[in-house]
A and B are shown apart, each in its own frame.
Chain A
Amino acid sequence: MANFTLNINGKQQQVDVDPATPMLWVLRDHLNLVGTKYGCGVAQCGACTIHLGDVAMRSCQLPVSQVGNQAVTTIEGLSENGDHPVQKAWLEHDVAQCGYCQSGQIMNAAALLKANPKPSDAEIEGAMNGNICRCATYVRIKAAIKSAAG
């Protein structure tokens, strides 16, 4: 066990955990930030996507010991009032069915648009291919990303 001070959603948070613990479980079990979801544990589904700085990361493969003082953003911290352009677009297109994967989809889409504000269809597909939606709402996810891009 070891103590870590983490910068999560703009707040300093302390945890005392095994250094190998993935951020996914630090967020979910220790910090009660459960919007970040467990789907596969092997970085194949994208449900656990968070931002490290501006970059989308699979938190199931990110040991807490490697985070240091980098800014971590989770779905709970993407916007203050749930009004990030990507979140608004998701509501406008009423994307969700079960909704379980959508935090990860939104975090991945937000990072894509930060890096590439006007992505082409092929760029959207390339960036989002790592995020599985088992309800298969892909047509709406893509439409929402295009709306958010304006």
Chain B
Amino acid sequence: MTASNSRRTFLKNTLLASGGLVIGVNWLTGCQNASSDAALTMPKEWFNFNAYLKIGENGVVTIFTPNPEFGQNVMTSMPMIVAEELDVDWKNVLVEMAPFDTVKFPGGPFGQFTGGSRGIMSKWEPLRNAGAAAKHMLKEAAAQAWQVPAAEITTSAGVLKHEKSGKSAGYGEMASAAAKIPVPEKPTLKEIKDFKLISQSQKNVRGKEIVTGKPLFGVDYKVDGMLIAMIAQPPAFGMKLKSVDDSAAKAMPGIKDVFTIKAYNDGYEKNMFDVNAFPELVAVVGNSTWEVMQAKKALKIEWEPIAAYSETVAGFAGKQTVNVPAGLESSTDHHAKMEALAAKPGKVVRRNGDPEAAFKKAAKVIERSYSCPHLAHNCMEPMNFFADVKGDKVKVAGPLQAPGIIEGTLAARMGIPVENIEIEFTRMGGGFGRRAYSHYLVEAALISQKVNAPVKLMYSREDDMANGVYRPAYHAVYRAALDENNQLLAFHVKAGGIPESPLHADRFPAGAIDNYLAEDWKMDSNITVGAFRAPRSNFIAGAEQSFLDELAEAMGKDPIEFRLELLKRAKENPVGEKNDYDAARYAGVLELVREKSGWGKTPVAAGVSRGVAAYFCHASYAAHVLDLTMENGKPVVQKVTSAIDCGIVVNPDAAANMTEGAVTDGIGNALYGEMTFKAGAPDKTNFDKYRIIRMSEAPKAIDVHFVKNEIAPTGMGEPPFPPIFGALANALYKATGKRVYRQPFLGERAVMG
């Protein structure tokens, strides 16, 4: 979606939506104001200005957040952007989740997508326009009422003023007339220097509801007569349903029905988010969760191996054939096969200069291999969805990241037009990429259709962990050629994975080295994978940044200085043309983290070891310095200093929170994160075996700094995550004298060394 397109469609739809009376309060929201410190009096009438806001006759403003909320706090930051341009007092704002609406919120399947750190980045302009357009209409209405030029009217905190005549009015007084004013073609936006609300931290607008346990999440969704459903799925990847004996289960108390459901219609062409390993599931439906859980245990199911198959999947790069092998895979085999494939030539995806010749004449070659296992997303709220199918009308509600994509899948599976589908977003208890693959929504609708009643489908934790859309297992080999003076001659990366490569061939240090070679490879698998917080980057950043650390040491250079030298080269005289990062912004976060951490200046305390790493992804830059001590063979992270350049920071304290979470999450995954398989079956299906970082293992302090600039916001949720793997690995080396190459660094071992 281009910016100009976005502006045109925004204005068109604003026209469609403007005027008229809109009534309705979402069942999940009350009338708490945005700053959670007072209840607002609800207006008698609402006047709808555009898809993003309505104003009541009493001056209360409701702002709609277009994108689903999964903890990135867009429920707060997106309305802040509208409120800024509207010039309304934040205390007079109510916030609601917008409905799913592809007309009001254009952008094709990604119009209301939560993922890829694209929320604020993609909605910055539409949100500003929405607030500015409404402000323009209010000014015009006041100008007409007062018979003065609109240009002489000023606004502040929800009040219109005309200084010369001494007239003033609240937005509420003008709302009725203003909603009838033609929508401006190009509303005037504020100068960034005039922002009053943006970059001033505001508390989470749902904070009070969260700490008092109000119903907000998909699992909390309830309507009269609603039944509970659970599914039984194959115990292993590479298996499918053969037969089911449901006689005992059906006879159990509270059970309404047991039946099988088919994931897709025959011949259905999948899109890239239709990731689902199991073609047929057993559904158990009953009155309550506990009763359904018990009945599920009474099912007698036979499973059988799948045959290998190929399917066509429509992805970003057009239609692709995906081969799904038969067999029951194991992580031990995966690792051996990745090492074997890494030893063979890969597919060359970037070459600068003559790397082969440079390696031949090298005085010294450094070669290191890195790997990581699959990871499960493990959102705290297991997958679930509500569905109510009545004839050819479908209402669904629940946690999902990609409504614009699953809508088509659901329509195809049910054989109904998308116009007959209503999707409501609930707050998500985490997402991390998993809920972009929301086939559970289709399952819920199929179950509701069969039992002819509203249904909430609940995955157990075990179902959730074993029916994953996992982070792939990856492998990377890095090589560097040095001359007799330890100067860098050439750089080579060869990376692959199961079933995709983690390589971003055009990222740093591409562009900074004359002789550069990047190759990738991949291996088919029947274990389903998908996006996991900063896909691919979440592995390759740690590998690359560990290797650069080792390289700097071999070259006798300070690790920050070494990176800055490479970035200087990339900025002043870049190698190649497709480098996808801004070397100056990249250097900026390294310089900021160097200053804030006192790197090389402040002596670190006795026993403290430091590591540094930086990375670019999702259009933003992040650098971390990690300080740790070793206590009884265990790393204790004392402090992480972070520097982030994500352009304008809308809500700084919330962005700092996100960074703290990304840092801690990354340390947890680097040290312990691991999903392994034996004979196709996940070894871990609950938190007794799957280790998630806990409080005692979290950093003792995290100090977050943002680069101040006037660049339109870039990604925030993902960029701080990938580089922390490298900062941790590099600090561990300083602490133990040993480099770590294979994640998880600690795994099931109690201590390091």
Contacts and interface: CB of A to CB of B under 8 A. Distances in A.
B379 A138 contact: no
Given A98-B430, A134-B692, A35 B212 contact: yes
Contact of A99 (B427, B431, B665): B427
A29 B212 contact: no
Chain B's interface: helix, strand, loop or mixed, by majority?
A: loop
Given A100-B429, A101-B380, A141-B695, A34 B687 contact: no
Contacts of B686: 40-42, 44
Given A45-B687, A137-B661, 15 more contacts: A18-B290, A29-B289, A30-B288, A34-B215, A42-B461, A42-B686, A98-B430, A99-B71, A100-B381, A100-B430, A102-B210, A136-B668, A138-B664, A138-B698, A139-B702
Interface string B197-211: 000000110111011
A125 interface: yes
Shortest 9 CB-CB contacts between residues of A and residues of B: A35-B213, A100-B429, A98-B71, A75-B213, A136-B664, A97-B71, A99-B210, A138-B698, A44-B687
A142 to B, nearest CB: 7
Interface size class for chain A? Answer: 35 or more
A35 B214 contact: yes
B380 A96 contact: no
Interface string A129-150: 1111111111111100000000
Contact of A29 (B228, B430, B668, B701): B228
A58 B512 CA distance: 54
Question: Could you say which of A1, A33, A41, A103 has the most chain B C-beta atoms within 10 Å of its C-beta?
Answer: A41
Contacts of A137: 657, 660-661, 664
A10 interface: no
A54 interface: no
Nearest to A143: B701
A22 B290 contact: yes
Contact of B380 (A126, A132, A138): A132
Contacts of B702: 139
Contacts of A78: 212
Contacts of B665: 134-136
B668 A98 contact: no
Interface of A: 1, 17-18, 20-22, 25, 28-30, 32-42, 44-45, 47, 74-76, 78, 82, 87, 90-91, 94-103, 106, 121, 124-126, 128-142
B90 to A, nearest CB: 15
A36 B430 contact: no
B285 to A, nearest CB: 14
B396 interface: no
B696 A38 contact: no
Interface of B: 36, 70-73, 203-204, 206-208, 210-217, 219-220, 222, 228, 253, 288-291, 294, 378-382, 427-432, 458, 460-461, 653-654, 657-658, 660-665, 668, 686-688, 692-696, 698-702
Nearest to B689: A44
A109 B222 CA distance: 29
Nearest to B215: A34
A121 B295 CA distance: 44
A137 B71 CA distance: 11
A147 B162 CA distance: 47
B212 A39 contact: no
